[in-house]
């Protein structure tokens, strides 16, 4: 058993131990489901009363006792009828409902029993397994929080109480995880987003529709500047497309048949239904098809930071991470089959370049494939093409040298894709973006180029968005940098702090010279103490503070204090300007403190 599977079995087992503890505390508890999740497990219960935080300590204590008792996990398979009877007798209606479904599907029903040293069965749960050997081998566990959940996620069903637990192989791993969570809470993009005046939400505008305040708009502008540079040198052309379109375009693209549930309702006028666009691709396809194309101009690459709208359930909305309006670093590459490999590799290189610029040290790619059952439903019904293009992408990924896994049933409706996961500086995982091969839609749109032999050929299309959406990526960056952005990204790059109003003229002069070079600089002209000014600048995490006192004025110097390194150094005025411009121009990562 590899490390990952071992951890999975531990967490599974920990969930059983929790359920045993809950039944010990509330014998009448009804068990829901208890799956493994990213950092542990949860279990849903119907209970006679609402849990309070203190209950978690009691349950944790009970779990520790069970763990100490080293009860063996023993697997048992029973015939369906006997199972139903047993679950009914145990008064576990949710489990019984599941068991009857499994049986109807012809599945084998297995149970795991916790058996103590005396051979006595202390707890039994219907479960596929696998499990740890005994309850003593489930590593380090901590119950984290209580939440509400409906049985099977449906609000028409009974409401259950969900208990979350973290579970790791060692105490040290658990401790590191808890520290990471604590740090993540400090770095919460919603909290920092407000404090650093990056974005705001408004009830009057609507949920999931962030407004970028000036500081956030700066970051978005800088990201776009970076993307435009990279895309310019990568041979992309920019396009710009409207945010609404007639329904027929989305019928043709397949969005309405395959994607309607994520779309906004239509606006009806002139006897036409207009939709907010959920994706930019159909518009780019129209521009590709807007003129005759020759093999000489292939590949054609259209880039747009395009605004899309998706109707997410209001309960699923979360800060910048899950929104209803998003601005995407989108592009579509139309290429021949021979060009596909080079183009796909070039996209992977762009990802790697960005990872370097943003100091993203850990990332993983996943090849998402179709599944057979989804053909004609979730996926266009072209099995042969699926298999062939999946193999093409697999080959290119191997060539790229980037580590990747594979997952069935996760493809886009028009072709296989690469999903990219990145980890922030504190080790939290984010789904960044995708890189997709589309073999289906160019044909639907009748897109062609005239090949060397004078015949019309259909291009392949690569959909890519390495910087994801502004919303998601800036949300990630806030956590990644804890709001202390590298100078090139910082909303205010330099703040000039005169020790007293006597030095204001020189402070303004320094600021004006920096501003003339495009540096985002502010002068703190409040008549407050230097200490207060410094605290104000630190609160806003401004990378450079230039303290201006008598000596600085006399010698045309600046005393520059770096937020990241916490070091203070004296520079000549021009010397500082040169240094900071170099830092901005090279998009340097923050100095370590």
Residue by residue, DSSP assigns 312-365 as: --GGG-BTTTB-SEEEEEEEEEEE-HHHHHHHHHHHHHHHHHHHHHTT---EEE
Options 33, 47, 80, 213; binder of a copy of itself; rule CB under 8 A = 213
Question: Which of 266, 374, 536, 549 touches a copy of itself by CB under 8 A?
Answer: 266
- Contact residue for a copy of itself among 268, 342, 381, 451 (CB under 8 A): 268
Binding test (CB under 8 A) with a copy of itself, winner from 85, 128, 182, 237: 237
Q: How far apart are CA 250 and CA 16, in angstroms?
A: 47
Q: With contact defined as beta carbons under 8 Å apart, do 556 and 545 qualify? A: no
Q: Rounded to the nearest whole angstrom, what is the least distance from the CB of residue 392 to a copy of itself in the complex?
A: 28
Q: State how far the Cα of 15 lies from the Cα of 556, in Å rounded to an integer.
A: 67
Sequence-ordered list of residues with C-beta below 8 angstroms from that of 567, at least 6 positions apart, any chain: 561, 591
Nearest to 482 by CA among 188, 213, 180: 188
If one counts every other C-beta atom within 10 angstroms of the C-beta of residue 20, the result is 20
Least distance from a copy of itself to the Cβ atom of residue 353, Å: 17
Among 106, 242, 401, 531, binds a copy of itself (CB under 8 A): 242
Candidates 236-244, 382-390, 566-574, 583-591 — which segment interacts with a copy of itself by CB under 8 A? 236-244
State how far the alpha carbon of 366 is from the alpha carbons of 128, 394, 431, 434, in Å. 26, 10, 11, 9
The answer to whether the bond into 130 is cis (omega within 30° of 0) is yes
Q: Of residues 37, 147, 205, 407, which one binds a copy of itself by CB under 8 A?
A: 205
Task: Please choose, from the candidates 60, 44, 62, 61, the residue with its C-alpha nearest in 3D space to the C-alpha of residue 146.
Answer: 44
Token pair 């007639």 is found at 246
CB atoms within 10 A of CB 584: 21
Min CB(59)–a copy of itself separation in Å: 37
Tokens coding 71: 């009860």
Phi, psi of 84 (to 5 degrees): -55, -45
Residues 286-345 that bind a copy of itself (CB under 8 A): 286-287, 290-291, 296, 302, 304, 307, 309, 311, 314, 325, 327
HEC secondary structure over 245-291: EEHHHHHHHCHHHHHHHHCCCCEEECCEEEEECCCCHHHHHHHHCCC
* 503 to 532: interface string for a copy of itself, x by CB under 8 A: ------------x--x------xx------
59 versus 201: smaller Cβ distance to a copy of itself: 201
Q: C-beta of 563: minimal distance to a copy of itself in Å?
A: 21
- The single residue among 209, 346, 581, 589 that binds a copy of itself, judged by CB under 8 A, is 209
Among 218, 279, 477, 494, binds a copy of itself (CB under 8 A): 218
Residue 176 engages a copy of itself in binding (rule: CB under 8 A): no
Under a CB-based contact definition with an 8 Å cutoff, are residues 224 and 331 in contact?
no
Among 80, 180, 217, 385, binds a copy of itself (CB under 8 A): 217
The one segment of 114-122, 280-288, 493-501, 544-552 that binds a copy of itself by CB under 8 A: 280-288
Nearest to a copy of itself of 176, 516 (CB atom):
516
Binding-site member from 84, 274, 355, 404 for a copy of itself (CB under 8 A): 274
Residue carrying the six token digits 């009363």: 49
| Identity of the residue, 170 or 314, whose beta carbon is nearer to a copy of itself in the bound complex | 314
CB of residue 346 to a copy of itself, shortest distance in Å: 16
The CB-of-147 to a copy of itself minimum distance in angstroms stands at 22
Applying CB under 8 A, the span of 5-13, 24-32, 40-48, 233-241 interacting with a copy of itself comes to 233-241
Q: Helix, strand, or coil here: 180?
A: helix
Contact track, a copy of itself, 414-443, x by CB under 8 A: ------------------------------
Minimum Å gap between C-beta 272 and a copy of itself is: 7
Q: Which two tokens mark 574?
A: 């021009």
Min dist CB 266 to a copy of itself, Å, is 7
Of the CA atoms within 13 Å of residue 39, those in its CB half-sphere come to 18
For a copy of itself, which stretch binds (CB under 8 A), given 71-79, 133-141, 208-216, 420-428? Answer: 208-216
Contacts to a copy of itself from residues 246-265, by CB under 8 A: 246, 248-249, 252, 264-265
Give the C-alpha separation, 300 to 210, whole Å.
Answer: 33
Cα 27 from Cα 48, distance rounded (Å): 10
Cα distance between residue 117 and residue 454, in whole Å: 81
Q: Enter the tokens of residue 283.
A: 């518009």
Does residue 276 contact residue 262 with C-beta atoms inside 8 Å? Answer: no
Q: Which residue has the tokens 């610029």?
A: 357
Measured CA to CA, the distance from residue 287 to residue 239 in angstroms comes to: 8
CB of 282 to a copy of itself, least distance (A): 8
Which range binds a copy of itself by CB under 8 A, 24-32, 114-122, 242-250, 541-549?
Answer: 242-250
Give 107 or 314: the residue with its C-beta nearer to a copy of itself: 314
CB of 513 to a copy of itself, least distance (A): 13
Sole binder of a copy of itself in the list 174, 239, 281, 478 (CB under 8 A): 239
Distance CA 331, CA 239 (A): 9
Residues 263 and 358: beta-carbon distance below 8 Å? no
Cβ neighbours of residue 391 under 8 Å, at least 6 residues apart? Answer: none
What residues make contact with a copy of itself under the rule CB under 8 A?
197, 200, 202, 204-207, 209-214, 216-218, 220-221, 228, 232-233, 237-246, 248-249, 252, 264-270, 272, 274, 276, 283, 286-287, 290-291, 296, 302, 304, 307, 309, 311, 314, 325, 327, 515, 518, 525-526
């Amino acid at each position: 058993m590899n490390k990952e599977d071992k951890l999975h079995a531990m967490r599974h087992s920990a969930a059983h131990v929790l359920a045993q503890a809950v039944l010990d505390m509330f014998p009448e508890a009804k068990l829901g489901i208890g799956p493994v999740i990213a950092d542990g497990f949860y279990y849903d219960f119907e209970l006679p009363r609402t849990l309070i935080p203190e209950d978690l300590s009691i349950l944790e204590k009970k779990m520790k006792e069970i763990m100490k008792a080293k009860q063996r996990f023993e697997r048992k398979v029973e015939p369906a009828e006997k199972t139903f009877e047993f679950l009914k007798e145990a008064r576990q209606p949710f489990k019984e409902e599941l068991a009857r479904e499994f049986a109807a599907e012809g599945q084998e029903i297995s149970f795991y029993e916790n058996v103590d040293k005396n051979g006595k069965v202390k707890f039994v749960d219907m479960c596929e397994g696998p499990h740890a050997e005994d309850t003593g081998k489930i590593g380090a566990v901590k119950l984290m929080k209580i939440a509400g959940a409906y049985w099977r996620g449906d609000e028409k069903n009974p409401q259950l109480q969900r208990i979350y637990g973290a579970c790791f192989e060692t105490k040290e791993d658990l401790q590191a995880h808890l520290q990471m969570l604590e740090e993540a809470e400090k770095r919460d993009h919603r909290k920092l987003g407000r404090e650093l005046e990056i974005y705001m939400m408004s009830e009057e505008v609507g949920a999931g529709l962030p407004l970028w305040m000036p500081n956030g708009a700066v970051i978005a502008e800088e990201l776009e500047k970076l993307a435009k540079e990279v895309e310019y040198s990568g041979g992309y052309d920019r396009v710009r497309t409207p945010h609404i379109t007639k329904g027929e375009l989305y019928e043709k693209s397949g969005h309405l048949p395959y994607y309607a549930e994520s779309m906004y309702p239509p606006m009806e006028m002139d006897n036409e239904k207009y939709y907010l666009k959920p994706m930019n691709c159909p518009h780019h396809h129209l521009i590709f098809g807007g003129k005759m194309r020759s093999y000489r101009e292939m590949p054609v690459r259209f880039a747009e930071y395009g605004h899309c709208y998706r109707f997410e359930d209001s309960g699923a909305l979360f800060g910048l991470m899950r929104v209803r309006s998003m601005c995407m670093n989108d592009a579509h590459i139309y290429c021949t089959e021979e060009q596909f490999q080079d183009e796909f590799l070039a996209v992977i290189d762009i990802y790697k370049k960005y990872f370097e610029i943003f100091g993203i040290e850990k990332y993983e790619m996943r090849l998402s494939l179709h599944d057979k059952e989804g053909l004609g439903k979730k996926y266009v019904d072209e099995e042969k093409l699926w298999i062939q293009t999946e193999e093409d992408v697999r080959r290119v990924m191997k060539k790229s040298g980037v580590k990747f896994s594979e997952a069935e049933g996760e493809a886009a409706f028009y072709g296989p894709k690469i999903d990219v996961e990145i980890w922030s500086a504190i080790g939290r995982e984010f789904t960044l973006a995708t890189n997709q091969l589309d073999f289906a839609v160019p044909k639907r749109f009748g897109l062609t180029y005239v090949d060397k032999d004078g015949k019309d050929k259909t291009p392949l299309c690569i959909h890519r968005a390495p910087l994801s959406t502004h919303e998601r990526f800036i949300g990630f960056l806030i956590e990644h940098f804890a709001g202390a952005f590298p100078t090139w990204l910082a909303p205010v790059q330099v703040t000039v702090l005169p020790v007293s109003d006597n030095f204001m003229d020189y402070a303004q002069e320094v600021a004006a010279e920096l501003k003339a070079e495009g540096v985002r600089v502010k002068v703190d002209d409040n008549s407050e103490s230097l200490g207060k000014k410094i605290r104000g600048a630190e609160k806003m995490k401004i990378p450079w503070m230039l303290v201006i006192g008598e000596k600085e004025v006399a010698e045309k110097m600046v005393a520059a204090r770096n937020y990241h390194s916490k070091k203070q150094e004296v520079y000549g005025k021009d010397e500082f300007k040169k240094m900071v411009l170099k830092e901005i121009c090279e998009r340097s990562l923050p100095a370590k403190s």
